[in-house]
Structures are given as structure tokens and as C-alpha cells.
Amino acid sequence: MRKLLVAFTLVAALGFMMSAAVPAPSYAGPETSITATVVAQAPAAPEKAAQAKKITKVEANKTITITMFIIIVLITMYIVYWAAKRTKTTADFYAARGAITGTQNGWAIAGDYMSAASFLGIAGLICLYGYDGFMYSVGWLVAYVTVLLIVAEPCRNAGKYTMGDILAFRSSPRPVRAAAAFSTVLVSIFYLTAQMVGAGKLMELLLGIPFRFAISGVGCLMIVYVALGGMIATTWVQIVKAGLLMSGATVLCVLVSAKAGFNPVTFFHDIATSQQIQDWVRIGLLKDAVPQAGFDYGQRFLEPGLLLKDVWDQISLGMALVLGTAGMPHILMRFFTVPTAQEARKSVIIAMFIIGTFYILTTLLGFGSAIHVTPQLSFAVDKGGNMSNMLLAQMLGNEIYPLAGDVLLAFLCAVAFATILAVVSGLVLASAAAISHDIYVSVIKGGKAEQREQVRAARIASICVGACAVVIGILAEGQNVAHLVALAFAVASAGNLPTVVLSLFWRKMSTAGIVAGLVIGVVASIGLVLVSPNMQYPKAIAAGDQKIYTGLEKKQAGGATLTEVETKELARAKASYEKNKNGTSFIFGLDKPLYGLKNPGIVSIPMGFLAAIIFSLLFPSKKEEDAFDELYVRQNTGVGVAEAIGH
């Protein structure tokens, strides 16, 4: 089976690389077009204007980029080969035998957490929305304080391989493991789909690789990483990826800082006085067709409220990010890979330092992209701003030497590719562990399965999960999956976290409470997202278009002559209004959201806790209460852990 998988991977990787010869699809421009025309209109410096004409899309040098891709694949495949020889037992496959040091695990956690969505997406959000994009990175960083103080050490001492092990320690194992596996797979699929679609779009945009080939290539590689190498391979792929990502971000930040003379005052002055940024805030975000007298649009870019307009939305988002991380299955699994609770704490502290540094760099890159790339060009290339870092690398590298821009862009493409591989491998491993260990071994086989059978089940589950991820990713082509990341954190914070925390620290927590907390937290999170502003509401789009064309028509009626840009914007707004004025949402056919916040955390998290508490009180278990003392001693001392992890 191992030889077959290796051969399958090499063929898939070769096909993946060869498919780069397919010509890149031409970019037709966004639907809302205040884009490159505004860049041309703005009174930019001569050298910046010249550069804007040169670079209007991300176009990687295929020879250099594919070479770097092949190097990354060869390095990771060697890691898999090395790890496969050491993966013999379930302890090897799920937890790397508990032999990963705190430092190594810290880098691996950082590699697991710093996804392509972080590197590309947060920088893009900052480029398009300023301060509000920065708030996302703050939330994800603070989340590890929760992990450090609440779950790292107790989970390491109380669990074995999965979240189901923690929850089933003193409860009825079959219903609890089934519910835990359901939640784990659901969270992983939401997160995994967003990563897979992002990988497909990234490869399609940068190298012209057709979407389906790109996703299939990533899927084949991640299946082999997990199925052959298990946690050992996944850990070292994540460590390598974290090092590459930090290196690339650091180099790019040095170039951005050099443009401002390494002076932060100059840097933020450049943001506030940029004409392109001012035009973007005025037309693109605030929909002011005519400038308001005395209003500082550049300063507004550095203030909150352009993306997260509701204070309750900010609070809800913060709750989901801070609490959701502590409930993410692939993060919880990492604490089973270290030998002691002390190493678990050490790994979280190291991860916090690395992740904190990374998000500082990402913030600098986002604002640097707003200055040098401009929000208009970033939006024109990708509506989510996800290519802003790539555009920035190409532009700043070209200023040094034309080839330097190609090399820097190729390196960042390869890093983004490695990032996606590392993150999806961790997610696939978490899902496979839930299916094989919690469902097959513990529920179906009643815990009576030989080591060889357990490892075989884990590998088969990895292949199945990976194949499903590829299929779902292909089906999701053309769909907006950005909200799936938020949904993953919402489900983790409302379902997983309440049950884990209450199981560890509340004596009266029962089987009924665990199942109810998981099910109600998951259902509430998904239900609220489906009726929230995350979904597309055509009538809301039409209202924004109506505001634009009404303002421009009013200006016309006053005797003023519209510029060429304004004339095009007037025509676009009218056409978009006619297209969307009678539309409804895709899922429930709604005219507007029933739930006004983008993130459900502020409602779904209390619901998850209340459901777990109420059902535990309604259906208590004396036996489970008595078992709390053993759990309490174990989670605080680690007594009995060595036997559990198979040392």
C-alpha cells in the first residue's frame, strides 16, 4: 500500500507541475469597477504611476516558480519518507509517540495556525479596510492566551489522541465519541474547504494551472503526507513551512520599511496622505460619490468601522477567535505530541511569540500594500485582496532588479503552497483520527482492535477525508467560501470549547451535557451564519448601487460634468442595481439578514455553554461525578499519562 501511494503521489505531482504549461486565463476585471482607472486618475508620483502601468496583475515567472515548487515538494516528500519508516503504531501515527519537544511543537503549532488565509487574507483585509483588518490578527494572537491558561496542560494530561479522548474520560464513550467526531469532522471540513479553494485559486491565478488540477495536486500530496507519515511527517512539514513563511514575510517587511526610511511616523503619514487610499475609502467603502467637505478620508482608513461597522459584531468576532482556537481539533491534537505538560506550556509560549511576530509583520505588509500596490489594484486582481502581498513583492523586487521581483514572487508562491499543504495536512489528520480512532476503533470495534488494524484504519480514513476534500473543493469553485473560516471558529467556540472546558473543570458535567453542548452549539452556529450578513443579499447590493448613482445624477443635475471615471461608475451602478433589485439570498430566499451580525459567537457560544449545563443538570450521572476526582488529579499531575500515550 505504501509503495502504491508513493507512486500515485509522484505521478500526481508530476502532472500537477506539468499542467502549469496551460496558458493563464486572462483577467476581465471585477464587477464593481472603481479599480485601476482610479489608480491612473490619482496624482501619483511619476515613478509610482509608471509602475502602476507595468504591473496590473500577478504574473509569476513559471520557470522560477515551478522550480521552487518542485524543491518544496522534494523536501516534504523526503520528510514523509523519513517519517514513514518511524510510523508503526497508533501512538506514532496520531501523536508522534509523544516525542516532539516543546520548541519543535511550538514551531509546528505556529505552522499549523499561520495559514495562507493569514498571510494572504489578513494582509488583503488591511490593504482594503485598514484598521479593521488588523483586528483579525489581534484576535487570533490573543486566542493563544486562552489556549495557554485553560486547555494546553489539562488536555495534554487527560487526553490521548483526539478531542473525543478528553470528553470520554469519565462519560459514556460511544455517544460522546460519536458527537465529538461529528463536530471535529465538521469544523475540519469548513476550514479545509476554504484552504482547498484558496489553493486552487492561488495556483490558477499565479501559474495558470486549471482549478481542478491544482486542487487535485494539493489533495494527492496531503493524502500521502498524512497516510504515510502521520503526525511525525505532518509536524516536520509544519515546522519547515513556518520557517519559510517567517523568512519570506521578514524579507518583504524589510523592503516595505526601507521605503519609509525605517520611520513609522513617515510610514503612517504616507498612508493618511495617499490619494489612492483616500479615493478608495470615499468611493469604494463609504460610497460618497461627491467628497464631503472637511472629511479626512485618509485618516478614516486608520480608524475602525470600515469593515466591522457594528461594535457588537467586533465583540462577537473577538469571542469566536479567542475561544474558537482553544476548540480547534487540529490544535488540540498537537498537545498530545509532547512528553510532558511542561513541554505543552512551553510549546504554546513559543507559538505565541512566533505567531505574534508574524502578525506584526502581516500588519506592516497590509498597510504597505495599501500604499504601494493601492487598494484599487489589489481589488482589481482579487476582490478579497488576497494577492496584495504578491503584488507588493513583485513591485518592490522589480525596483531592486527585474529578476529580483520574479524570484521574490516565486519564493512567496512556493511558501504559500507549502503553507496550504501544512495546514490541510493537520486538518486531514484531525478528521482521520476522529473517524478511525473515535468511530471505528472505539465505537464500532469497542476498543478491541490490534495496532496494525488501527493504523490501517487511520490511513484509509486519511485517504477518504482527503478525497472528499478534493471533491468538495472542486464543487465549491466559484463560490464565496471566505465565511467558512469564520464558521469553523464559530462552531469550535460554541460546540467544542464549552464541552471540553466543562468536562475538565465541572464535576456535574454528564454525557447528556456533552452531547447537547456539541450538537446545539454546532447547529446554532451554522443556523445563525446562514441567516447572517455573511450570505449574499442582492437587495442590499442594489441599495449601495442606488446610493452611488443617485449621488452622481444629483451632481449632473446641478450642472456639473462627470469625469470619465464617474460616467463609467454611473453606468455600472445602474446596471448592477437593475440586476440585483429583486434578488433574494441563495439559501432561504431572504431579502435581508435575520441575524444582523457577521459572526454568531456572541449568541452561539452562550447557547453551547447553557445547553451543556442544563442537560447535565437534567440528566446527571453519579458515576461520572465520582470519576471527576481521578480526572482532576490526572489533569493537574499527569499521573497515568505515560501509559495512555504508549511510551
Look up the pTM and report it: 0.80
User: What is the tally of helices (H) and strands (E) in the chain?
Assistant: 32, 0
According to CATH, what is the number of the domain 2-535+593-644?
A: 1.20.1730.10
E-state strands within 343-388 = none
Q: Residue 374 region, left (φ>0) first, then alpha (ψ -120 to 50), else beta?
A: left
C-alpha separations of 447 from 69, 454, 513, 554, 589 in Å: 42, 10, 23, 74, 46
Q: Which of 485, 473, 414 is nearest to 214 (CA)?
A: 473
- Cα angle value 448/450/453 (rounded, 5°): 110
Q: Which of 183, 459, 163, 117 is nearest to 321 (CA)?
A: 117
**pLDDT digits over 520-551, tens only?**
999 999 888 888 877 777 878 888 888 888 88
Burial 128-156 (b: 16+ CB within 10 A, else e): bbbbbbbbbbebbbebbebbbebbbbbbb
Written as nine digits, the cell of 437 is 480512532
Alpha helices, DSSP H, located in 401-537? 402-433, 451-475, 482-491, 497-505, 511-530
Query: Which sequence spans correspond to the domains of the chain?
Result: 2-535+593-644
Question: Mean pLDDT per 10-residue run, the chain (647 residues)?
Answer: 41 36 30 32 38 58 85 90 89 87 93 79 89 78 80 84 90 92 90 81 77 86 88 92 92 93 92 92 84 87 85 84 86 88 90 90 92 90 83 89 86 85 87 90 86 88 89 76 74 92 93 95 89 78 82 81 82 84 75 82 94 95 91 80 43
Answer for the pair 327, 500: CB distance below 8 angstroms, yes or no. Answer: yes
Q: Cell match 500515485: residue?
A: 8
**pLDDT digits over 145-164, tens only?**
888 878 888 888 887 888 99
Alpha-carbon span 521 to 515, nearest angstrom? 10
